[in-house]
Chain A
Amino acid sequence: MEKVATFEVLESGILTTIQDLGRYGFSQFGVPPSGALDTFSLRVSNLLVGNEEEAGLEITLMGLRIRALKEVVIAITGGALSPTLNGEPVEMWRTHLLLQDDVIAFKKVSAGCRAYLSAGGGFVVPKIMGSSSTYLSGKFGGLEGRSLRRGDVLYTSNSSSSLDKLGLRFPSDWIPSLEKEVLLRVIPGPQDHHFTEKGFQTLTSSSYEVTPQCDRMGIRLEGPRIERRPDVEESIISEGLISGAVQVPGDGKPIIILTELVTGGYTKIATIIATDLPRVAQLKPGDRVKFKRISIEEAHHLLKEQEERLKKFKKIIQNQAVTVDKV
Chain B
Amino acid sequence: MGDRGLLVEFGDEISREINEKVRRMALVVQDDIREGIVEVVPTYRSLLITYNPLLLPVEDLKKRLKRIEEGLQQAPLPEPKLTRIPAVYGGHYGPDLEEVARYHQISPEKVIQLHCSKPYLIYMIGFMPGYPYMGELPEELVTPRLKTPRLVVPKGSVAIAQRQTGIYSMESPGGWQILGRTPVELFDPGRDPPALLKIGDLVQFYEISEKEFKEWHSK
Seen from chain A, the residues whose Cβ lies within 8 Å of a Cβ on chain B are 24-31, 33, 128-129, 137-141, 186-187, 189-190, 237-242, 244-245, 262-263, 268, 270-274, 296, 299-300, 303-304, 307
**Residue in A128, A262, A299, A307 whose beta carbon sits within 8 Å of that of B127 in the complex:** A262
A239 and B46 within 8 A (CB): yes
Report B-chain residues with C-beta under 8 Å of the C-beta of A186. Answer: 2
B54 at the binding interface (Cβ < 8 Å): yes
**Residue in B39, B46, B58, B130 whose beta carbon sits within 8 Å of that of A30 in the complex:** B130
Bound complex: CA of A48 vs CA of B39, how far in Å?
29
Interface window among B91-99, B146-154, B185-193, B206-214: B185-193
Chain A proximity of B122: nearest CB distance (Å):
11
Q: A273-B2, A304-B54 are in contact. List 10 more A-B contacts (CB 8 A).
A: A28-B26, A28-B198, A31-B194, A138-B189, A190-B1, A238-B43, A238-B124, A240-B47, A240-B48, A245-B2
B interface residues, how many (CB within 8 angstroms): 46
B2 and A242 within 8 A (CB): yes
B127 and A187 within 8 A (CB): no
Report B-chain residues with C-beta under 8 Å of the C-beta of A187. Answer: 2-3
Known: A28-B125, A307-B54. A274 touches B4 (CB 8 A): yes
B77 at the binding interface (Cβ < 8 Å): no
Encode contact with A along B97-131: 1 for CB under 8 Å, 0 otherwise.
Answer: 00000000000000000000000000011111111
A-B contact pairs, 28 of them (CB 8 A): A26-B194, A27-B39, A28-B42, A29-B195, A30-B125, A30-B126, A30-B129, A129-B194, A138-B128, A139-B170, A189-B7, A237-B13, A237-B44, A238-B124, A238-B127, A238-B133, A239-B43, A239-B48, A242-B48, A244-B2, A245-B1, A262-B127, A263-B124, A263-B126, A263-B127, A268-B1, A272-B2, A300-B53
Bound complex: CA of A187 vs CA of B2, how far in Å?
5
A239 and B44 within 8 A (CB): yes
A237 and B45 within 8 A (CB): yes
Bound complex: CA of A95 vs CA of B196, how far in Å?
45
Bound complex: CA of A186 vs CA of B15, how far in Å?
32
Bound complex: CA of A48 vs CA of B7, how far in Å?
37
Encode contact with A along B19-60: 1 for CB under 8 Å, 0 otherwise.
Answer: 000000010000000000011111111111010011001100
Report B-chain residues with C-beta under 8 Å of the C-beta of A30. Answer: 125-131, 169, 187, 195
Nearest A residue to B58 via CB reads A296
B14 at the binding interface (Cβ < 8 Å): yes
Report B-chain residues with C-beta under 8 Å of the C-beta of A273. Answer: 2-3
B12 at the binding interface (Cβ < 8 Å): yes
B5 at the binding interface (Cβ < 8 Å): yes
B2 and A240 within 8 A (CB): no
Bound complex: CA of A300 vs CA of B4, how far in Å?
9
The 10 A-B residue pairs whose C-beta atoms are closest, nearest first, are A271-B2, A240-B48, A263-B126, A240-B41, A299-B3, A29-B195, A140-B189, A30-B129, A27-B41, A239-B43
B160 at the binding interface (Cβ < 8 Å): no
Bound complex: CA of A258 vs CA of B53, how far in Å?
20
Chain A proximity of B21: nearest CB distance (Å):
14
Main secondary structure of the interface of A (DSSP, over half): mixed
Find the residue from A128, A129, A262, A307 having the highest chain B CB count within 10 A.
A262
B199 at the binding interface (Cβ < 8 Å): yes
B189 and A262 within 8 A (CB): no
Bound complex: CA of A129 vs CA of B40, how far in Å?
16
Nearest A residue to B18 via CB reads A237
Chain B proximity of A211: nearest CB distance (Å):
19
Nearest A residue to B49 via CB reads A240
Bound complex: CA of A244 vs CA of B4, how far in Å?
10
B194 and A240 within 8 A (CB): no
Encode contact with A along B165-191: 1 for CB under 8 Å, 0 otherwise.
Answer: 000011010000000000000010110
Bound complex: CA of A285 vs CA of B96, how far in Å?
38
Known: A239-B48, A262-B127, A307-B54. A28 touches B4 (CB 8 A): no
Chain A proximity of B219: nearest CB distance (Å):
25
A239 and B3 within 8 A (CB): no
Nearest B residue to A33 via CB reads B39
Report B-chain residues with C-beta under 8 Å of the C-beta of A272. Answer: 2
Report B-chain residues with C-beta under 8 Å of the C-beta of A138. Answer: 128-129, 170, 189
Report A-chain residues with C-beta under 8 Å of the C-beta of B41. Answer: 27-28, 239-240, 262-263
A28 and B199 within 8 A (CB): yes
Report B-chain residues with C-beta under 8 Å of the C-beta of A304. Answer: 54
**Residue in A29, A31, A240 whose beta carbon sits within 8 Å of that of B46 in the complex:** A240
Chain B proximity of A280: nearest CB distance (Å):
12
Report B-chain residues with C-beta under 8 Å of the C-beta of A141. Answer: 189
Known: A31-B194, A237-B12. A242 touches B1 (CB 8 A): yes
A128 and B190 within 8 A (CB): yes
